[in-house]
């Protein structure tokens, strides 16, 4: 393994479930932007699974972008683009895209990151274009499992700005940025996929 390539055990475990869930909800063609791609494991998995789509990874962390490049080097296909230096709270270096994917970000970042994600996505998605989120969420202010409550406590101990977000609160931000209420899909390990579509 390249010294730049980051191991991603959690991404390896959830890869199949995310690919199977997001796949039928993706457009038939076009460019898919992944926000906060991290190691690049999911970006490479998407590119392999959907060779008819162009995959645009991004991450504000230079080490993450180097890891994404290491994944790109191992791919035989050419539909995985070089990673963009993209921080959702800053001007985005990308124009219109056909779908946006974001996995496991909003609970490990300040709340402003969630609002900026929806604002940026609203400016770049076409009508009915999907913004797809994956991760743990509270429902009506309640954790869906004791393990999620423990995870939330660990996150807040690391930073008071972090934490598992409530579905209703996230949906309200989506509505205010021109998105319909999400399709909510239960996933393994007490996670959810949320599919928001631009009005």
The pLDDT value recorded for residue 76 is 79
Looking up residue 168, the CATH number of its domain turns out to be 3.40.50.150
- Comparison of pLDDT for 6 and 96, the residue scoring more: 96
**Which pLDDT belongs to residue 34?**
98
Per-residue pLDDT at 9: 74
What is the per-residue pLDDT for 13? 84
Pairing between β-strand 31-35 and β-strand 54-56 as defined by DSSP bridges: parallel
Quote the strand ranges of the chain, DSSP E: 31-35, 54-56, 99-103, 130-135, 137-138, 165-166, 183-187, 191-197
**Mind listing the pLDDT tens digit for each residue in 137-157?**
999 999 999 999 999 999 999
Q: Residue 6's pLDDT is what? A: 81
In angstroms, the CA 71 to CA 157 distance is: 32
Q: Are 59 and 83 in contact (CB under 8 A)?
A: yes
Per-residue pLDDT tens for 155-198? 999 999 999 999 999 999 999 999 999 999 999 999 999 999 99
Which pLDDT tens digit goes with each residue over 89-126?
Answer: 999 999 999 999 999 999 999 999 999 999 999 999 99
DSSP string, 128-142: T-EEEEEE-EEBTTB
Residue 4 is assigned to a structural domain of this protein: no
Q: Supply 83's token pair.
A: 């990673």
Give the model confidence (pLDDT) of 7-23 as tens digits: 777 777 889 999 999 99
Indicate the pTM of the whole model: 0.95
Task: Tell me, yes or no, whether 74 lies in a domain.
Answer: yes
pLDDT given for residue 4 in this prediction: 84
If one counts the domains in the chain, the total is 1
The answer to the question of residue 121 being in a domain is yes
Measured between its terminal Cα atoms, the distance across the chain in Å is 43
How confident is the model at residue 12, as a pLDDT? 75
Q: How far is CA 163 from the centre of its chain?
A: 16
- The domain containing residue 67 runs over which residues? 9-197
Confidence (pLDDT) at 1: 55
Beta bridge partners of 193: 134, 185
Tens-digit pLDDT profile for residues 45-91? 999 999 999 999 999 999 999 999 999 999 977 999 999 999 999 99
Residue 61 in domain: yes
- The alpha carbon torsion through 106, 52, 198, 65 (nearest 10 deg) reads 30
Q: Does the pLDDT of residue 3 top 70, yes or no?
A: no
């Amino acid at each position: 393994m390249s010294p730049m390539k980051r191991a991603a055990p959690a991404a390896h475990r959830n890869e199949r479930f995310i690919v199977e869930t997001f796949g039928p909800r993706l457009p038939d063609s076009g460019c898919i932007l992944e926000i906060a791609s991290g190691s690049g494991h999911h970006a490479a998995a998407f590119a392999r699974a959907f060779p008819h789509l162009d995959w645009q990874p991004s991450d504000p962390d230079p080490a993450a972008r180097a890891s994404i490049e290491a994944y790109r080097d191992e791919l035989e296909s050419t539909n995985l683009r070089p990673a963009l230096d993209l921080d959702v709270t800053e001007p985005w270096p990308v124009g219109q895209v056909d779908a946006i994917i974001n996995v496991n970000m909003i609970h490990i970042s300040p709340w402003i990151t969630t609002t900026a994600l929806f604002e940026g996505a609203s400016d770049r998605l076409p009508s009915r274009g999907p913004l797809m989120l994956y991760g743990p969420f509270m429902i009506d202010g309640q954790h869906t499992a004791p393990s999620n409550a423990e995870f939330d406590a660990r996150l807040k101990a690391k930073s008071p700005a972090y934490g598992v977000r409530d579905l209703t609160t996230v949906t309200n931000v989506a509505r205010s940025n021109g998105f319909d209420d999400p399709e909510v899909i239960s996933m393994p390990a007490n996670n959810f996929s949320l599919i928001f579509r631009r009005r």
